Amino acid sequence: MAKEENESSLKGVMGLVIRNTGNTYLVRDNNGNDLICKAKGNLRLKDIRSTSPVVVGDRVTMDVNPDGTAFITDIEKRKNYIVRKASNLSKHAHILAANIDRALLCITLRHPVTTTVFIDRFLVTAEAYSVPVTLVFNKSDLYNEEENDYLNGLVRLYTMICYPCLITSMVTGEGREQLEVLTGGSIVLLAGHSGVGKSTIVNALQRNAAQKVGEISGYHHKGMHTTTYSEMIELDNGGFIIDTPGIKGFGTIDMVTAEVSHYFPEIFRTSGKCKYYNCLHLNEPDCAVREAVENHYISESRYHSYLNILEDISDGKYRL
């Protein structure tokens, strides 16, 4: 009997991973059926040292048994992905999602504060793995005049570097139409700290999503986690948005010291004028990058982020 059941199972079924809960995965096959799957053990041996061998956005091959159980047997080559250092396993990677058309990094100036170091670490990783990014400055309805001046300064800075920026408020509706356009017909990753309004944005784009919205911790002024696993949500505009758990810190991984500057577009452009081709822009003579920082052609915050990542590589520290 077991042999007959095995012979009637479906082999090589293709699907898209739409949810990752750690030990199991929800996979949608090409006919629109959602299947709960587990990964075959040998997948873990073929993957990088990752917290999970399969991630949301992966295109996979499955074996589906007559009793409805299914196993992922293979993962298609990823066109890109967003990866960070796992905060509790420093030598492991945590891949947020794969095969992304665009990442939206959700940023707030307070409650909680998103630092420029965090922004730049995310952008560097996105550059390294070929993921286009739009910076979404959310909760604009909360800011006073001084904060709005700082917000506009950040938008000017990153726009000049060629990163698209969008100012949004789901309370006033500011930026909502632009978000509809950005997510239409695409697979988009939504990332950021807990409390920056990711779930509220999802709810605004898809009312049927009903993502749980959390409060802000009064003690630390940080968001409390409301999304506990990564999930791909289908939107009314034909797109998919991948909602991820809030990220506290963004540790870079697999970065080579000599290549870090390549992922800062403005530093890389300027580095061609340095005296030495292998200049790290630290203390070398006739460094065009440090001169550009001194003359405010490259922002001090971006240069600080560059040095911060170099420090990570040299001493293995994980900075928040």
What local confidence, expressed as pLDDT, does residue 40 receive? Answer: 81
What local confidence, expressed as pLDDT, does residue 228 receive? Answer: 53
Domain assignment present for residue 251? The answer is no
Domain hosting 206: range is 99-243
Domain assignment present for residue 303? The answer is yes
Answer whether the bond into residue 112 is a cis peptide, omega within 30°. Answer: yes
Domain boundary among the residues 40, 75, 110 is at: 75
Do the beta carbons of residue 111 and residue 142 sit within 8 Å? yes
The CATH number that applies at residue 32 is 2.40.50.140
Buried b / exposed e across 108-135, counting CB within 10 Å, b at 16+? bbeebebebbbbbbbbbbbbbbebebbb
Domain boundary among the residues 243, 267, 290 is at: 243
If one counts the domains in the chain, the total is 3
What local confidence, expressed as pLDDT, does residue 212 receive? Answer: 43
- Which helix (H) or strand (E) segment holds residue 46: the answer is helix 41-46
Domain assignment present for residue 165? The answer is yes
What local confidence, expressed as pLDDT, does residue 219 receive? Answer: 32
The DSSP call for residue 223 is: B
What local confidence, expressed as pLDDT, does residue 227 receive? Answer: 47
Please give the backbone phi and psi of residue 270, each rounded to the nearest 5 degrees, phi first.
Answer: -75, -30
Considering the domain architecture, whether residues 214 and 278 belong to the same structural domain is answered as no
Domain boundary among the residues 75, 107, 124 is at: 75
What local confidence, expressed as pLDDT, does residue 44 receive? Answer: 58
Considering the domain architecture, whether residues 67 and 117 belong to the same structural domain is answered as no
Domain assignment present for residue 81? The answer is no
Domain assignment present for residue 85? The answer is no
Residue by residue, pLDDT tens for the chain (320 residues) are 444 445 567 888 999 999 988 779 999 999 998 999 998 876 654 545 666 788 999 999 999 988 878 999 999 999 999 988 766 555 567 888 999 999 999 999 998 999 999 999 999 999 999 999 999 999 999 999 999 999 999 999 999 999 999 999 999 999 999 999 999 999 999 999 989 999 899 999 986 544 444 443 333 334 333 445 788 999 988 899 998 877 766 677 778 899 999 999 999 999 999 999 999 999 999 999 999 999 999 999 999 999 999 988 876 543 43
What local confidence, expressed as pLDDT, does residue 320 receive? Answer: 36
Query: Whole-model pTM?
Result: 0.86
Considering the domain architecture, whether residues 199 and 134 belong to the same structural domain is answered as yes
Considering the domain architecture, whether residues 235 and 264 belong to the same structural domain is answered as no
Q: How many CB atoms lie within 10 A of CB 284?
A: 14
Show the tokens assigned to 247. Answer: 């990220």
CA pseudo-torsion sign 179, 161, 107, 21: positive
